[in-house]
Structure 1
Amino acid sequence: MKGLVKYAAEPGNMEVREVAEPVVKPDFVKIEVMSSGICGSDLHILHSDIAIPVRPPVITGHEFSGVVVEVGDGVSNCKVGDRISSETAYGYCGTCENCKNGRYNLCDHRLTLGYWFNGAFAEYTMVPADRIHKLADNVSFKEGALLEPLACVCHATIDLARIKAGDIVLVSGPGAIGLMTLQVAKAHGATVIVSGTDIDVERLGIAQKLGADLVVNVSREKLLDLVGDLTDGRGVDVVFECSGSAPGTRTGLEAVKKYGQFVQIGLAGKPFEVDFPRICYKEIKVTGSLGSIWSSWDSAIRLVSTGKVNLKALATHEFKLEDWEEAFRTFEEKKGLKILIKTH
């Protein structure tokens, strides 16, 4: 079969190669990949500037959906023909404090699909059976390929934050993650502001269509003034920073109210300075967010299957596996939203 392989460390060193099909083993399932999505971390793997352990040569890709084509001995939670998506936590210790408390996304020994073990930019992949999640009948394979990033959003917005009906929420960055965050916040009854820059004009338009109450182009408008007007000077109740940019984080810490919540979802890829005393003076509750856990997958699946989150609107481009370079370039140039890879 063909797979997109990171074949050596250092920037670049990625190409489509002929690779062996996975051979199913006990407690694992073999999956025919029907659709897979490009994540920002896939670009970091390409450029070799990611902190998560990568073990070349490895087939990349971790956001996907597919069909179970073979099950290993001991598998009882699925059968051949089931339509599924999968968590990315291919392996973790199961015995550390975080694992025992259900936070296996934070396990020091966590090893990830598409980083350490062969992933989903291929015709077939194989994952532990207890990592899979079945797709509802009304969820397409393209939507299924976006469940993993939505699960990450649900972890940030539901597991780590508390949104109450009537809250005013700022979502900084209208990429696919930001637009998912917008929809989850709306599903909880929030009034949502989405901010972006000149490069995000089209995405801000999509945010309006998906229910944003206010969109702000910070290249041309003063976000903090608009927030002050909307909140009578108090600031927003919750900020979800999805851009991974230093200005987005700094402005978000200014925009959030005293005793408010700030959640950093976007990854900057490098350190930057923030006004940390502001966190103290305002008693802001600040948290980062990394990956997902079972509960966030359960939330994501329910939100999509019940129509509370629209993933179809976010899948804007699809490329053949052989055209992966154009697909990655489209993603990196911020053209469209979610870029999918089709391996068949």
Structure 2
Amino acid sequence: MKALRKLASGAGHLELVDVPDPRAVPGHVVLAVKAAGVCGTDIHILHDEFPTIPPVTLGHEVAGEVVEVGSGISDWSVGDRVVTETYYGVCLQCEYCRAGYSNLCAQRRSIGSKVDGGFAEYLEVPGRLLHRIPDSLSWETAALTEPLACTVHALNQVRIHPGDWVVVSGPGPMGLLALQVARAAGGRVIALGLTQDTKRLEVATQLGAHKTFNVEVLGSQQAIAEVTALTNGGAHVVLECAGAGPSADLLLQVVRKRGAYGQIGLYGKPVPIDVDTICYKELSVSGTNASIPEAWPRALELLQLGLVKSEAIISGTWSLQQWQDAFAKVQEKGALKVLMAP
């Protein structure tokens, strides 16, 4: 089969190559991959900015059909439509695994970085990772389950209440998912972006943002003044989805005292922020690392109920042979969520 693989450490070294079809070992299944999302993590892997164990097939946002079932599996059958969690290997014994936080297991090995992922025709994963796709959801929509589960986990940390003002900085795919989950919780959402995000801010409005601001056009101080006035003294919750230092600094200024700051975006390097503000405002600060198992059923339910709409976020589907163009679209921010259909 064809697979997009990181063949060696260092920047680049991504190639579409032929590899043997996987087989289902006991307790595992093989999926025919129907749709797989390109994540910012995949771009970081391309540039050797995220740890991998090469050679390894990329791709961790996967929807597929069960085509082979290993021994010891009774919950799944050939033909089932499923999405898969990403944690191929965890110890299941540490305090984090036992508490439901397998994302923090020191022995965690995830598909797409440490073991083979879904940018391939077939994918082999443990049966314990699967969740059934509701009949009403397309393959493409189902492929959003993984990033949406990450978003659900992140917003569970900040606990939005009906009527809360929520500021989302960074209207990329994660920011637009966060916007919708915040609205589903009853929040009134303000989206912030830059000039390069103009079209994305328009999508934010389509998805129910109460107001959007182009920080680059307004200038940071004017943007802070506008948001503070609109929210009558500051937002109850701010969500940093841009992974940019100036974005974090601005959010610390627009969040109200005793508000909540949620970090969703990754920076890839240390950034300077005024940590004293956390003390002076008595802020609750949280960060999240991917998803936890209980977030997956909630993510699928949000999609099934139409509380999170996929159409405005999915920019299109590319074949594996078109992977270079797909990756370029993501890097140039010429698209929102890019999918590949092996």
TM-score normalised according to structure 1 size: 0.97
Paired letter, 1:138: S
Paired letter, 1:214: K
> 1:231: how far off?
2.1
Counterpart residue number, 1:30: 30
- Kept in 2: contact 1:11–1:48 (CA 8 A): yes
Counterpart residue number, 1:131: 129
Counterpart residue number, 1:8: 8
Q: 103, 106, 111: which is aligned to 1:108?
A: 106
Paired letter, 2:94: C
> 1:320: how far off?
1.2
- Kept in 1: contact 2:56–2:112 (CA 8 A): yes
**Structure 1 counterpart SS, 2:83:** strand
Structure 2 distance, partners of 1:312, 1:78, is: 29
Sequence identity of aligned pairs in percent? Answer: 44
**Structure 1 counterpart SS, 2:253:** helix
Counterpart residue number, 1:303: 302
Q: Does 1:66 align with 2:61?
A: no
Counterpart residue number, 1:267: 266
**Structure 2 counterpart SS, 1:206:** helix
**Structure 1 counterpart SS, 2:262:** strand
Structure 2 distance, partners of 1:71, 1:322, is: 28
Paired letter, 1:216: F
**Structure 1 counterpart SS, 2:171:** coil
Counterpart residue number, 1:209: 206
Structure 1 distance, partners of 2:137, 2:316, is: 18
Structure 1 distance, partners of 2:200, 2:300, is: 24
Q: Does 1:175 align with 2:180?
A: no
Counterpart residue number, 2:194: 197
Q: Does 1:188 align with 2:166?
A: no
Structure 1 distance, partners of 2:182, 2:114, is: 33
Residue ranges of structure 2 left out of the alignment (5+ in a row): none
- Kept in 2: contact 1:68–1:82 (CA 8 A): yes
> 1:312: how far off?
2.1
Structure 1 distance, partners of 2:200, 2:294, is: 29
Alignment length (residue pairs): 339
Paired letter, 1:227: V
Residue ranges of structure 1 left out of the alignment (5+ in a row): none
Paired letter, 1:205: E
Structure 2 distance, partners of 1:3, 1:32, is: 12
- Kept in 1: contact 2:23–2:68 (CA 8 A): no
> 1:64: how far off?
1.2
Structure 1 distance, partners of 2:33, 2:155, is: 29
Counterpart residue number, 1:157: 155
> 1:76: how far off?
1.4
Structure 2 distance, partners of 1:48, 1:34, is: 27
Structure 2 distance, partners of 1:56, 1:260, is: 42
Structure 2 distance, partners of 1:163, 1:280, is: 21
- Kept in 2: contact 1:142–1:312 (CA 8 A): no
| Map 1:31-46 → 2, pairs under 5 A | 31-46=31-46
